């Protein structure tokens, strides 16, 4: 009998967060069966609510797009979520620091675990649901993704796949030391795109335990905000996050575009951005 670990095992392994996200897309003809199978699954600790219309920040579907949503909310946040979706501009809001929402919209499925989500059997419940959907002969899983981030933290891209078999294998994996040569090769390849190579250049790459830390060199525009002078990293973070995601997908390792990179021994001089790939674990 197969033993499956929590779907967010890799996020915990890397100490990332604060929020955990799982998303999956099924075949276009699977929408009704998907909703029915989720509804039939034992979801201890969750209560269901249904909403039709535009929902700004549902854990599934396209943001602010009309749709039919089934939301399964942890019991402590259910009343607040119900209140939020009944507003003139419906939005998912929560009452507590920690929350967990499972969502179904058309052929899209998602889980949002705020600050790691609720603990104990309920986390096992959502993993068992993912396994049940992946193993169901009535559904065809088209793609899936696991990410962390939110609340101003950089998105960390963990794993993507295009089949149920890949997902079930992932849920039984153990961390493996990354192939740093492949990671650096794919990073250089991604940055060689003509549109990017005009702006970005790969600087130092350093191996730290099971992680490759890279500096991407680029100019940073100064900006004035909140009454003072600063640097505008937003466009670079957005663009390099796509690069990190591409490398992460190809190398099957966690990847992240973090904060600004400083000149050696000079905290006040910014020279580019940090990217990292792999696990925050040291050699034994």
Closest CA to 9 of 178, 148, 217, 106: 148
154 shares its domain with 188: no
CATH for 252? 3.30.980
93 shares its domain with 46: yes
Q: In what order do the strands lie in the sheet with 153-161?
A: 46-54, 66-74, 99-105, 108-114, 19-26, 141-150, 153-161, 255-263, 266-278, 211-217, 201-208
226 shares its domain with 130: no
pTM value?
0.87
Report the alpha-carbon angle 114-118-119, nearest 5: 135
198 shares its domain with 219: yes
End residue of a domain, out of 138, 170, 202: 170
Predicted local confidence at residue 34, as pLDDT: 98
Q: Enumerate the β-bridge partners of residue 56.
A: none
End residue of a domain, out of 170, 193, 208: 170
- Asked if the structure places residue 283 within a domain, the reply is no
- Asked if the structure places residue 2 within a domain, the reply is no
**Residue ranges for the chain with pLDDT beneath 50:** 1, 121-122
Closest CA to 170 of 5, 44, 41, 20: 5
Q: Decide: residue 227, CB within 10 A, 0-12 exposed, 13-18 middle, 19+ buried.
A: exposed
| Domain limits for position 58 | 9-170
Nearest-angstrom CA–CA distance, 82 and 80:
5
Predicted local confidence at residue 104, as pLDDT: 96
End residue of a domain, out of 170, 199, 216: 170
For residue 43, the SS3 value is: coil
- Asked if the structure places residue 227 within a domain, the reply is yes
The answer to whether 258 and 276 are in contact (CB under 8 A) is: yes
- Asked if the structure places residue 3 within a domain, the reply is no
Looking at the structure of the chain, the number of domains it has is 2
Model confidence pLDDT, tens digit, residues 41-69: 999 889 999 988 888 888 887 766 788 99
- Asked if the structure places residue 190 within a domain, the reply is yes
Closest CA to 82 of 40, 57, 51: 51
16 shares its domain with 148: yes
47 shares its domain with 157: yes
Q: Which stretches of 35-163 are assigned E, i.e. beta strand? A: 46-54, 66-74, 99-105, 108-114, 141-150, 153-161
Q: Which stretches of 55-152 are assigned E, i.e. beta strand? A: 66-74, 99-105, 108-114, 141-150
- Asked if the structure places residue 284 within a domain, the reply is no
Predicted local confidence at residue 121, as pLDDT: 47
Predicted local confidence at residue 91, as pLDDT: 79
109 shares its domain with 249: no
Predicted local confidence at residue 207, as pLDDT: 97
207 shares its domain with 130: no
């Amino acid at each position: 009998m197969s033993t499956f670990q929590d779907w967010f095992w890799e996020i915990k392994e890397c100490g990332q967060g604060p929020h955990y996200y799982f998303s999956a897309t099924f075949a276009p003809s699977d929408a009704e069966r998907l909703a029915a199978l989720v509804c039939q699954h034992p979801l201890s600790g969750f209560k269901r609510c249904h909403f039709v219309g535009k929902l700004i920040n549902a854990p599934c579907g396209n943001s602010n797009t009309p749709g039919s949503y089934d939301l399964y909310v942890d019991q402590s946040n259910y009343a607040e979520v119900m209140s939020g979706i009944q507003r003139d501009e419906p939005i998912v809001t929560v009452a507590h620091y920690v929350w967990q929402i499972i969502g179904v919209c058309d052929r899209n499925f998602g889980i949002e675990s705020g600050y790691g989500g609720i603990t104990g059997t309920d986390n096992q419940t959502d993993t068992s649901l993912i396994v049940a959907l992946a193993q169901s002969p009535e559904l065809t899983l088209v793609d899936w993704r696991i990410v962390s981030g939110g609340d101003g933290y950089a998105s960390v891209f963990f794993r993507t796949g295009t089949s149920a078999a890949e997902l079930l294998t992932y849920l039984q994996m153990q961390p493996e030391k990354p192939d740093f040569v492949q990671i650096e090769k794919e990073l250089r390849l991604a940055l060689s795109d003509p549109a990017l190579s005009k702006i970005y250049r790969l600087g130092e790459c350093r191996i730290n335990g099971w992680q490759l830390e890279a500096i991407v060199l680029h100019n940073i525009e100064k900006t004035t905000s909140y009454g003072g002078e600063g640097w505008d990293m937003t466009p670079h973070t957005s663009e390099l996050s796509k690069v990190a995601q591409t490398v992460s997908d190809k190398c099957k390792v966690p990847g992240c575009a973090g904060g600004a990179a400083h000149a050696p021994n000079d905290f006040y001089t910014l020279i580019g951005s940090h990217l990292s790939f792999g696990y925050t674990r040291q050699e034994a």
